[in-house]
Structure 1
Amino acid sequence: MAKSSGKRRRFGAVRQLPSGRWQARYRDPSTGLLRSAEKTYPSKRDAEVALTHLEADILRGEWADPDAGKVPFAEYADAWLRDRKLAARSRERHEMVLRLHIKPDFENTPLARITTARVRSWRAGLLSRGVGEPTVVKAYQILRAILNTAVDDELIRRNPCRVKGADRYDVPERPVLTVPQVLALADAIAPRYRALVLLAAFGALRFGELAALRRRDIDLEARIVSVRRSQMETQDGRLVDKAPKSAAGVRVVSIPEEIVSDIRTHLDRYSGSGHDGHVFLGVQGGRLRRSNFRATWVKALKAAGLSAEVHFHDLRHTGNTLASNTGASTRELMTRLGHSTSRAALIYQHMTGDRDRAIADGLGAMIRESRDGGGGTT
């Protein structure tokens, strides 16, 4: 039979168990019911100190129900993902990362048993198994987000994802093409994709934005392209047009006069019919897909004498760099590229169309100089 300590405490009580160890008991602040501390202690003094800490946590509002953290990680993670508002493609990526890289290590682990040491060991294990660093960073970010919500739900006291530097990685510097190299690539690629290359570089458009363009989005008289949507491919192969990630992604981009004739030729020969026809289509007349475009891209790189390491997205990176060389300000570049900032207000601070036209004219001057110098086509 357990023995009470005798002296009555202001908060809680301690008693000695038949085993000789000491138990601390206190009133649950939520239910008012008497409950025992999660573990026993070797001495009366240790049990009393534990009660002092519990009382302080309750007074500070930092006490967490020890039973709440017993929820298995997989159960909580599934509910977290189900309730989270995500775009279809982002949801698929989250599900895949959870299934392949997080659940195998934490599936049946109670939330309260996930420690910083455990998280550190899990991350090191992914890297040692050859999982790419970007994927490991993504997995860590998802795990941290789930456990942040668990903290908000008062299931755990603090987030154990506290591994310094685990939420980021150094992105290798991507290549920037010269204007002659862009023009050489446009010459080398299949004619139906020439305008695709030119708009990606001199309009700084993403592949998904280009694939989603309709005829009504291009006004060659005004030399503008309206970006209203972006195409994404789901894991089951479906192509879906979606709104850009942020308000800044919906934008109007001016293009150089020097590529207008190329785009006009493309619209006449290769684009879908009607006002709503897609500007860029595959060889068989279907929607443009990254997977089907890959072989054409690699072949064009080789013909243009460029490294096979150059990605299509590097054309946008090139366009950004070239535009900055025209004297465009940071805000003008962000608007042209459809980027948001940490300050939501900047989303609504757009530059004037005249300044974007000036940037496009500066790009055009680069094209003329390259062609006049013999570095590109005429």
Structure 2
Amino acid sequence: MTGPDGKPKRVRTSRYGHGSRYRARYVGPDGTEKSQAFPDRQKRQAEEWLAGIAADMSRGQYTDPRAARVTFRQFAEKWLAERSGDPNTRASMSAQLRLHAFPHLGPRPLGSFQPGHIREWVKQLEEKGVRGSYARTIYSNVRAVLSAAVDDGHLPRNPCSARSVRAPSVETKRVVPWSAERVLAVRDALPERFRAMVDLGGGCGLRQGEIFAVDVDALDFDSYVLHVVQQLKYSEYRLVLAPPKGGKLRDVPLPGPVADAIRGHMECFPPVEITLPWGNANGPLVTRRLIFTQTTGEVVRRPSFNNVHWKTALVRAGVIPKRKRGEPHQAAREHGMHALRHFYASVLLDAGENIKALSEYLGHHDPGFTLRTYTHLMPSSQDRTRNAVAAVFASGPKL
């Protein structure tokens, strides 16, 4: 602006006093220059900020301010996309984060995370009824994402590592195996085309997905061996055939009565050729002659089988009460088909089978896990001592 004397004159605008006069600059660990603007009269704050940055870099706790603004969801989705390994595991982790972590933690910038945010989220999970091992798995996934964020310099430390943060608790319950009478009652209550499933579960210790995927080639009736080489599972909401859990292929003894039941089943319900992807939803197509199928000739789907056939059989056998009109069956997690594996383990331990062999038959990677799960079902040393001594005295001369 020109003044009355014809000379230039500086005039304060409406923005006067609102701009940033100082810009603190530094070179980050990645070699690029970074800066932060500070308003007028805040030179000391700019100097203190630079000193703090230098101290963080010297301690190895530096976090790029721009990286810290990335949200949990943005980083988690990128991290999942970059993960290698089993695509089914990646899809499962993605679904768990999307359903249970992103709604609460997703929009939060990584640099703002504090232990209190994790405590609040864990409490929210509990209030929504997400508990036990499933909640622990979701928590582990969130912790893994935040650990990767620390490694990549998005935040200085993992809030899940704070002493005040507790992972969701998992209640340890002792396995209570079914009686033989209950196993047979549930078997008789199932439709005839599914009864031999109980023979394989209770007589060979197979998991549900492994039972659904048994094919003709897996049955060696000459050597009485069952080759457990695949399971039926979901990958990205699509049914696929895949190796057993943990990739643990195994051979299981096929007891005579179980073999007879399978032969009888195959005579009444001939195996059906089924073609499905192998390994994951995008895997190569494979064809197997499965011995268990639905009346339509399609594979047995876990949700419909459990809700329609299995729980109905539990009601008929008196395991769970009859459902009320318009309501679903009572939750019966402890009475799912996994109960047949527990029955199988209890029978073998009662017969004196060792833990290592049982672990192999069940497809466990660690015999220690088998021991921790079933140790209370093993005959005690006191029982063995009493029985051994009693046998000696019973066979000796009478006093």
CA 1:306–1:264: 2 relative to 1, 3 Å: same
CA 1:45–1:285: 2 relative to 1, 3 Å: closer
CA 1:100–1:45: 2 relative to 1, 3 Å: closer
Name the residue aligned to 1:263: 262
- Contact 2:205–2:340 (8 Å) recurs in 1: yes
- TM-score normalised by length of structure 1: 0.73
Q: Which amino acid aligns with 2:310?
A: W
- Contact 2:25–2:33 (8 Å) recurs in 1: no
Q: 2:364 aligns with which of 339, 349, 372?
A: 339
Give the unaligned 5+ runs of structure 2.
1-17, 274-286, 322-331, 369-399
- How many angstroms does 1:226 deviate by? 0.7
- How many angstroms does 1:175 deviate by? 3.8
- How many angstroms does 1:276 deviate by? 4.0
Name the residue aligned to 1:325: 350
How far apart in 2 are the matches of 1:139 and 1:293? 26
2:159 pairs with 1:160: yes
Name the residue aligned to 2:312: 299
Correspondences of 1:282-297 after superposition (within 5 Å): 282-294=294-306, 295-297=308-310
- Contact 1:233–1:240 (8 Å) recurs in 2: yes
- Contact 2:210–2:228 (8 Å) recurs in 1: yes
Name the residue aligned to 1:110: 109
Q: Which amino acid aligns with 1:282?
A: Q
CA 1:251–1:235: 2 relative to 1, 3 Å: same
The more displaced of 64-73 and 170-179 is 170-179
2:313 pairs with 1:312: no
- Contact 2:119–2:166 (8 Å) recurs in 1: no
SS in 1 for 2:101: helix
2:235 pairs with 1:222: no
- How many angstroms does 1:250 deviate by? 0.8
CA 1:169–1:46: 2 relative to 1, 3 Å: farther
- How many angstroms does 1:46 deviate by? 12
- Contact 1:23–1:47 (8 Å) recurs in 2: no
Q: Which amino acid aligns with 2:362?
A: L
How far apart in 2 are the matches of 1:125 and 1:69? 25
SS in 1 for 2:57: helix
The more displaced of 159-168 and 306-315 is 159-168
Name the residue aligned to 1:31: 31
How far apart in 2 are the matches of 1:82 and 1:221? 47
How far apart in 2 are the matches of 1:97 and 1:33? 39
SS in 2 for 1:96: helix
The more displaced of 220-229 and 313-322 is 313-322
How far apart in 1 are the matches of 2:136 and 2:344? 28
How far apart in 2 are the matches of 1:93 and 1:301? 29
- How many angstroms does 1:289 deviate by? 1.5
CA shift digits 1:326-376 (9 cap, x unpaired): 323332222111111399xxxxxxxxxxxxxxxxxxxxxxxxxxxxxxxxx
- Contact 1:127–1:133 (8 Å) recurs in 2: no
Name the residue aligned to 2:205: 204
Name the residue aligned to 1:5: none
SS in 2 for 1:197: helix
Structure whose CA Rg is larger: 2
SS in 1 for 2:158: coil
How far apart in 2 are the matches of 1:252 and 1:47? 70
Correspondences of 1:348-363 after superposition (within 5 Å): none
CA shift digits 1:298-320 (9 cap, x unpaired): 23223333336321111112212
- Contact 1:28–1:35 (8 Å) recurs in 2: no
- How many angstroms does 1:65 deviate by? 2.4
Name the residue aligned to 1:239: 239
2:291 pairs with 1:279: yes
CA 1:121–1:342: 2 relative to 1, 3 Å: farther
- How many angstroms does 1:285 deviate by? 2.3
SS in 2 for 1:328: coil
2:136 pairs with 1:137: yes
Give the unaligned 5+ runs of structure 1.
1-17, 344-378
How far apart in 1 are the matches of 2:196 and 2:208? 12
CA shift digits 1:156-215 (9 cap, x unpaired): 221112354415512544541122322232233222222110110121101111111110
How far apart in 1 are the matches of 2:312 and 2:117? 46
Q: Which amino acid aligns with 2:365?
A: S
2:187 pairs with 1:181: no
Q: Which amino acid aligns with 2:295?
A: V
CA 1:72–1:266: 2 relative to 1, 3 Å: same
SS in 2 for 1:246: helix
CA 1:317–1:68: 2 relative to 1, 3 Å: same
SS in 1 for 2:295: coil
Answer 1 or 2: higher relative contact order, Cα 8 Å, separation at least 6. Answer: 1
Q: Which amino acid aligns with 2:241?
A: D
- Contact 2:216–2:289 (8 Å) recurs in 1: yes
Q: How many residues align?
A: 322
Name the residue aligned to 1:99: 98
Name the residue aligned to 1:65: 64
SS in 1 for 2:290: coil
How far apart in 1 are the matches of 2:151 and 2:345? 40
Cα-Cα RMSD: 3.6
